[in-house]
A and B are shown apart, each in its own frame.
Chain A
Amino acid sequence: MSENPTIRELIDACRAGSTDLSLAELAALAREVERNPAVADELRRSQRLDKLVSEALHDVPVPAGLAERILAASESRNDQPEVSLPEQAEVSRGRFWIGGRRWLLAAGSLSLAVVLTVLIYQLGGGWSRPIAPDQLASDVTECINVSNATNWRTDGLPAGIALGSVVAVPRQPRWQKLPVPRSAGWSGSVTAVDLAGPGRPQAILFVVHTSARFSVPSTPTTTSHLPLTGGYKATAWQEPASNLLYVLVAKDRGQRLDVFLRKPREA
């Protein structure tokens, strides 16, 4: 946040009918509203204009038949027939048919390319393109979906998982092992640890043992940067020297991630 937001910025950031004035960042505005009638009046005028602007912005005529067109497009997408093998073969024969010595030449080149590819792969230690945050977010969503409310264990975290220096761990943390999502393009093991405890808005730390590399920071940040849908906040980081990936997910939009992190870095 900027060092000194102006009173105008604070007024403009305050939503009508919300509890924004109770936010720490708007405390200065709340104080001014209390003691300065001019500021209170300006806030009222500003929020009145906000209401008018909001109403006007929502006043857009919707084209007739739009819903039907969306559904039709969806239907046609689903109904696209799969190309049958004979047709494919026909197309291949027609446009790309090669034969005789040229066929042998092509097959030889292909074999050579495969051998070279395998060789480069082995020498390079495998492809190491990092997995994108979008894919990780999708995998984490799958993990959330398969986590089971009745499978929590409280008999001490499994060996190899030491979280004390990473996150604030409850005295008797609940945890469960989860399968790696089928759609994931990586292998490893996933352990979910409930950092909030029963009866409170859940905050789950997924500890992933994997040799795969992910496009995430190497240290935790307080900004929710993993594009999870459904109102979740999530941050992920991967220690470069270990095979550990951490994903912290807060299930309530009002939760702050930094509450659970030991040494968060402001992003």
Chain B
Amino acid sequence: MASASASRGAGDDGRPLATDFTSLVVAHHAAVYRYACRLCGSPTDAEDLTQQTFLIAQQKLHQLREPERACAWLLAVVRSCFLKSVRKARPTPAQDAELNMANIADVMPEVDSIDREELAAALREIADEFRVVVLMFYFEDLSYQQIAEELEIPMGTVMSRLSRAKRHLRQRLMGHERGTPSSECRVASKPPMDRAILRTPQSALRT
């Protein structure tokens, strides 16, 4: 595996150190897999996406100038691969509908723990363009500005998608049934579920 583990040192011309591929895999495969798993919603697809990510990383390793940013770089590659696969599978509809959540009345009670199964299910329910934004926020720890730059969409769109996706997660975690406003929800006066962000039946079948 000569080329897989080959590394470059710092050159006299000040070029940055490159990263050893084997070390890259060992150090970051778990983070890459976790992100892939949340993006795809399926362990099998996640492993395929992880493999694909590292194959691309191996080819483009020379582009990684700052080894300390290797994890962020790999997460960006995962995201890019995922988005390419989604775009190939079906056109992504624009989801910039008017907001229907104008005030702070959408409050939540104090929370000490959350149901992880419910969270995973809620995440799988939402459309790809919303899920990617919310995962970039939680996984890549990017600001809404950085998300806008990475996805090349306006900041307002990012804010809207992020807020609507987070609202969906909150509602699912606090008692709404799948995709339906629950009459038994624990928090009174909740606004209705934002159906526009839910995945279409066709897209739900894909994974």
Q: A-side interface residues toward B, CB under 8 Å?
A: 1-3, 5-13, 15, 18, 20, 23, 25, 38-39, 42, 45-46, 48-50, 52-54, 56-60, 62-63, 66-67, 69-71, 73-75, 77-79, 138, 141, 144-146, 148-149, 223-225, 227, 229-231, 233, 253, 267
Contacts of B21 in A (CB 8 A): 74
18 A/B residue pairs, CB under 8 Å, sorted by A: A2-B157, A8-B101, A8-B104, A13-B163, A25-B145, A49-B170, A54-B139, A56-B114, A57-B119, A62-B29, A74-B58, A79-B1, A146-B13, A149-B14, A224-B149, A229-B60, A230-B63, A267-B152
A-B pairs with beta carbons under 8 A, tally: 176
Interface residues of B in 85-108 (CB under 8 A from A): 99, 101-104, 106-108
Residue of B nearest to A67 (CB): B29
Residue of B nearest to A7 (CB): B104
Q: B-side interface residues toward A, CB under 8 Å?
A: 1-4, 13-15, 21-22, 25-26, 29-30, 33-34, 37-38, 43, 47, 50-51, 54-55, 58, 60, 62-66, 69, 72-73, 76, 80, 99, 101-104, 106-108, 110-111, 113-114, 116, 119, 123, 135, 137-139, 141, 143-146, 149, 152, 154-160, 162-163, 166-167, 169-170
Q: A42-B107, A74-B21 are in contact. Are A56 and B155 (CB under 8 A)?
A: no
Q: Complex: how many Å from CA A58 to CA B139?
A: 8
Contacts of B29 in A (CB 8 A): 62, 66-67, 70
Contacts of B76 in A (CB 8 A): 229
Contacts of B108 in A (CB 8 A): 45-46, 49
